[in-house]
Amino acid sequence: MSIMRHTESLILAVVSLRANLMRSILTTLGIIVGVASVIAVISIMQGFAHSITQQFENMGSNTVIVRPYVSFKDQLSGKTAQLTVNDLDAIGRYIEGIDIIIPAIDQRGVRLSYKGQNTTLQFVRGTVTGYDDMNNHYPENGRFMIPSDDAFSRKVIVLGADNRKDLDLPETPAGEYVQVNSQWYKVVGEMEKTDAFLGFSQDNVAFIPFQNAVAIMREQAQRNMFFMIKATNLDDSTVLIAQIERLLRKRHKIRKGDKDDFQIDTSEQLKEQFEGILDTMTLVVAAIVGVSLLVGGIGIMNIMLVSVTERTREIGICKALGATRSDILIQFLAEAVALCLLGGLVGIAIGFGLGKMVGALVPSLPEIVVPLWAILLSLGFSSAVGVLFGIVPASKAANLDPIQALHYE
Amino acid sequence: MSEGLISLSNVSRFYEMGGETIKALDGVDLTINKNEYVAVIGASGSGKSTMMNILGCLDKPTGGDYVLNGTAVSSMADNQLSSIRNKEIGFIFQSFNLLGRATALANVIQPLIYRGEGRRKRKQMAMDALERVGLKGREGHLPNQLSGGQRQRVAIARALVTNPTIILADEPTGNLDSSTTVEILALFDDLIKNGHTIIVVTHEHDIAQRCKRAITISDGKIISDKVK
Ligand SMILES: Nc1ncnc2c1ncn2[C@@H]1O[C@H](COP(=O)(O)OP(=O)(O)OP(=O)(O)O)[C@@H](O)[C@H]1O
Ligand SMILES: [Mg+2]
């Protein structure tokens, strides 16, 4: 029986919202802004998270990456760290459980030119045969590096998927000659497209033989060198990592108690790090949303107090007709919640639209989807705000004295 | 006469105003029986509305006892009073006091919601009540689309629909012209014929004439109680 009385309250609440639709929407502006931003940000971040996950899935979960590492503090005091080709050989020779190990060097900000067209690459990566298998990233046409390219330091280059468009290269660029920082290279292949990373294209890169990169970068080479290792079995990756660490510490003559001058990550760990960053971003967004919901809630409370005053007489009538305190309380709470839910729904729609807009502006972002949990969470929060900020006006209404309320002008 | 439907014994209602005590009701004894038609008359400020509020359980007496339909209501809590108002009392006010945003039908349905009546049943009951006051076909109108007389009929239908023990009318025709007043009074006569109990506050003599009993109040006291 009491449930029926309360569904009645909800219906009445919706009716009274409709009567003041414009005012209701203006009142819930705070909630609308809060919910819209949370939905937009969540949907965009979901897109990013999705592309990051894709990124590491390509790499395969049994990949270990070794790179030189100096803490930021030590960097400031001029320390450097490096890996050498000898380290590579030693790891390959002495450590068990390695399927393949591949060296790579990235040179950043390299200029690539073709017939007067220029583009600045994110990096040129010097690497060897097998890189394509390890990263699950293959040429769309032409070929990838072959062993003899590296052995003879052949001036060959495999382009990233963006280069052809940027340099007006022919449909099949293999066979053309391009300049890498003014050295001539022959194009032998073009890589397939990859998923964007944090919304940025990953295809503005090129690949040359490892030895060429070493030669170009000279003393810089060892600081920028990293190894990609595919383990035969990832279950004992901790053992593998421990072994590599012990070997490299010995080779780099690091004393007991001193820090490693290299860093070993599994692709799993990298993924976790990025997820950590995403979590932090989520927290920041949550804080912003919290503030806007608070502001929204105060707006709701204000308008509800106005509404209680406006309807004092109506409340008196209802009390005379037999409404109890809790009938009135629930009626006004229902109204506050309905108001907030209205704001929440409008906010979800706007947030979804914003997400779509960003999705359209950043083409590399995957399809924007608003996860169901975000919608439910928004609606849950909106109702909670309604209850929280509706309780004061509602109890004010419930506690009105019937005679005074009836005589209110 | 033994226990009536309504029994006030030594009921008083005092207001404290700036150190002064206003005795709006001062030791009222009153018994009213089922199906009585009682007029309450008296000068302005004599305490008529105060008594009606107490009879209608909207207000609690400062002292004395009030027994309504066998229940001692003077010591009840607010929620119980709400329920008593809903079940036992039908109010008719001078200023109609309809819910402005609700249709005639919705206004009549409202007390049935608090009673927990089912959706279909309460609609049927409300339609019947509207028909009894001659408003069939007007159920969809909002109060501001109705004349004063029609509004008061909606209020009467709303008071009737719960089949209350007593109907309390505080100057029900105060805002109506004389011909509409006659219509409303005819409606009251009808209700009495059907076994209802009505207490009506009035300034007008022709209304008092129609009632079988007239109570006169002055300065919070009953100074005469005449039964014809
Ligand atoms: N809330 C209140 N606070 C203080 N005094 C009050 C209050 N309500 C009523 N009174 C006083 O109680 C007395 C009786 O008032 P009441 O409204 O019962 O008069 P009434 O007989 O209905 O008059 P009228 O015919 O003008 O409606 C008056 O003197 C009035 O000023
Ligand atoms: Mg009065």
Residue A7 DSSP symbol = H
DSSP string, A260-329: PSEEEEEHHHHHHHHHHHHHHHHHHHHHHHHHHHHHHHHHHHHHHHHHHHHTHHHHHHHHHTT--HHHHH
User: Is residue A195 scored above 90 in pLDDT?
Assistant: no
SS3 of B142-191: CHHHCCHHHHHHHHHHHHHCCCCCEEEEECCCCCCCHHHHHHHHHHHHHH
First to last CA, chain A: 34
Instruction: Compute the distance between CA of residue B112 and CA of residue B106 in angstroms, rounded to an integer.
Output: 10
Which residues are placed with Cβ below 5 angstroms of ligand 2, an ion? B 49
Minimal-distance CA residue to ligand 1 atom 18: B47
pLDDT (tens digit per residue) in A260-274: 999 998 877 777 777
In A69-143 the beta strands, taken as DSSP E runs, fall at 98-114, 117-127, 139-142
Tokens at A15, concatenated: 């009716």
Please give the average per-residue pLDDT across A161-184, as a whole number.
91
pLDDT in tens, A384-398: 999 999 999 999 999
Return the top range by mean pLDDT from A48-57, B78-87, B200-209. B78-87
H-only helix segments in A95-160 = 131-135, 147-151
- Asked if B151 and B74 touch (Cβ cutoff 8 Å), the reply is no
Torsions phi, psi of B71, nearest 5? -110, 135
Q: pLDDT category, A44, cuts 50, 70, 90?
A: confident
Residues in the ligand 1 pocket, defined by CB under 6 Å: B 15, 17, 22, 24, 42, 44-50
For the record, the structure tokens of A340 come out as 């907030």
pLDDT interval class at A366 (50, 70, 90)? low
The pLDDT of residue A293: 82
Check pLDDT > 90 for residue A56. Answer: no
Torsion from C-alpha of B48, B53, B57, B58, nearest 10 degrees: -170
Which residue bears the tokens 């709303």? B158
Q: What is the pLDDT of residue B1?
A: 40
Instruction: Kindly report the backbone phi and psi dihedral angles of residue A361, in degrees, each rounded to the nearest multiple of 5, phi listed first.
Output: -75, -30
The average pLDDT across A180-195 equals 91
Q: Is the pTM of this model over 0.90?
A: no
Determine which residue's CA is closest to atom 29 belonging to ligand 1: B45
Per-residue burial over A56-82, b if 16 or more Cβ lie within 10 Å, else e, is: bebbbebbbbbbbbbeeeeeeeeeebb
- pLDDT score, position A270: 74
Compute the distance between CA of residue B71 and CA of residue A195 in angstroms, rounded to an integer: 79
Question: What is the distance between the alpha carbons of residues A149 and A209, in angstroms, rounded to a whole number?
Answer: 6
Task: Spell out the residues 6+ positions from residue A87 whose beta carbon is closer than 8 angstroms to its own.
Answer: A227, A248, A251
Q: Which of ligand 1's atoms lies nearest the C-alpha of B220? A: 14
The reported pLDDT for the residue numbered A285 is: 78
Q: In whole angstroms, how far apart are CA A378 and each of A356, A381, B105?
A: 18, 5, 37
Dihedral-angle region of residue A275 (phi above 0 means left; psi in -120 to 50 means alpha; beta otherwise): alpha
**Domain at B37-60+76-227, CATH class:** alpha beta
Average pLDDT over residues B192-217: 90
How many Å lie between the centroid of ligand 1 and the Cα of residue B22?
Answer: 9
| Choice among A20-29, B56-65, B111-120 with the minimum mean pLDDT | A20-29
User: How far is B88 from chain A, CA to nearest CA, in Å?
Assistant: 10
Cβ distance A320 to B83 less than 8 Å, yes or no, reads no
CA-based R_g, chain A, Å: 32
Q: What is the average per-residue pLDDT within A216-233?
A: 89
| Mean pLDDT over each residue of chain A, to the nearest integer | 86
pLDDT at residue number B68 = 94
Q: Which residues of A350-366 are buried (b: 16+ CB within 10 A; e: fewer)?
A: bbbebbeebbeebebbe
Domain regions of chain A by residue span? 2-55+277-406, 70-260
